[in-house]
Structure 1
């Protein structure tokens, strides 16, 4: 199985930081609520004694483990072997015997048709046809994505980045919801979140940018001029501000086939 560019990036992050996190210090202000908390709430509400869940792009598994207790069987898949090694360590630390991890391409999960109750993806890949195939009728997809306004000021300063220029188009949350509908899902919930991260120092922001794919191939030395300009413009009493924009969409596979929407 060939490792794609995203997998290579996340493997570097896991090798450097020991998982999908860094020691960058920040103070976060969630004006619309904390998206991770609501995502967990929605996923936990879908659980049950016999429920089966697949988490796509599970990284180091920490997020998945927060919701795994209410499911009978949970599998996390990722294309980064380094992230999965971290995931196994995190699972073993909490003795979550119902959770397994596998190196697997989300485009071809290997599950039988109509097998799963829930598929989740937190800022991971979105293969709608495959997810619909493996979900049972009435099963649910819960997806967290990055909004078009996420870190816009930073990307404009660097003149590149994740979904660069998407703020000139329509809302990405709406685009994802439409794609789900076209694939035959019934969209049941959608929420957008704006929040601020205040990094305690320029060094903390620099560390953070190495741990996330916000900027393409971020390099502390090569990008120093753009980084310094951004820090000068975004520095506030609370720290160096980074404006974030995420969304969550929940959708259900219909109980009967043949309900695709145009």
Structure 2
């Protein structure tokens, strides 16, 4: 999908549920980290935190006590509608949600102490500009080989055919060009098991893993074959592949 189609997709999904997948029953091998736990480890109570691509805001609302002010941005109108509904329900006074493109951050220079970005594009140059001296940036992204058996079964999918580590290397290069230092990267690829066909269908309808899932003739027949071939005692087998980058900028961009 191109950028326009992605925005349309996230607008529709955002209005429905944001990034709330709590109803999906899935078990997985132990991941070596939890992204927002890593974020909170690096926050002080006086910090200002920016979350890029915040979706329905569920994640930063869950860590609202970790910083003085948390700002979540997303370019999707639908996601922001859900985020602000979630904010109203939460009663949190130190969280704000703003519709904004991550490539053009509408904040003063050096404004945030911590910036996080999970499963969303970002501009390394813009992150560096609004990050304070000594501030820290953390991002977790979906790796190319995520849900690989699903994408191979459908013959299409997000980053199918792209060599592994391509996106990670692109981001590492961009962060280096933006003069980030002390850059570390981590990755994992673990098995996960969806408990029912309905759980897997919810995933495919609410993420862009298989673009246009359900709109192509034969998609549900393909899914039935996939389930039959990958049914295990623990559930329907696929994989979760992620990488995380943690970077600090010692000097600030003027």
* Same structural fold, with TM-score higher than 0.5 when normalized by the shorter chain: yes
Matched, 1:143 2:139: yes
d(CA) in 2 for partners of 1:113, 1:15: 32
Contact 1:77 / 1:104 at 8 angstroms: preserved in 2?
yes
Contiguous gaps of at least 5 residues in structure 1: none
User: How do 1:44-63 residues align onto structure 2 when only pairs under 5 Å count?
Assistant: 44-63=40-59
Contact 1:52 / 1:117 at 8 angstroms: preserved in 2?
yes
Q: 1:5 aligns to what? A: 5
Contact 1:117 / 1:135 at 8 angstroms: preserved in 2?
yes
Number of equivalenced pairs: 251
User: How do 1:1-262 residues align onto structure 2 when only pairs under 5 Å count?
Assistant: 4-16=4-16, 18-22=17-21, 25-33=24-32, 35=33, 37=34, 39-166=35-162, 168-170=163-165, 172-219=167-214, 222=217, 223-255=219-251
How far does the alpha carbon of each residue in 1:208-262 deviate from its partner, in whole angstroms, 9 at most, with x for none? 210111111111662123222221221112211121101111101123669xxxx
SS of 2:63's equivalent?
helix
How far does the alpha carbon of each residue in 1:36-80 deviate from its partner, in whole angstroms, 9 at most, with x for none? x2x222211222233111111111101111222121121111122
d(CA) in 2 for partners of 1:31, 1:23: 18
TM-score, normalisation: structure 2: 0.89
Contiguous gaps of at least 5 residues in structure 2: none
91-100 or 56-65, larger mean C-alpha shift? 91-100
C-alpha spacing 1:157/1:205, structure 2 compared with 1 (3 Å): same
d(CA) in 1 for partners of 2:5, 2:211: 11
d(CA) in 1 for partners of 2:64, 2:240: 27
SS of 1:126's equivalent?
coil
SS of 1:4's equivalent?
helix
Q: In angstroms, what is the RMSD of aligned CA positions?
A: 2.2
d(CA) in 1 for partners of 2:22, 2:58: 16
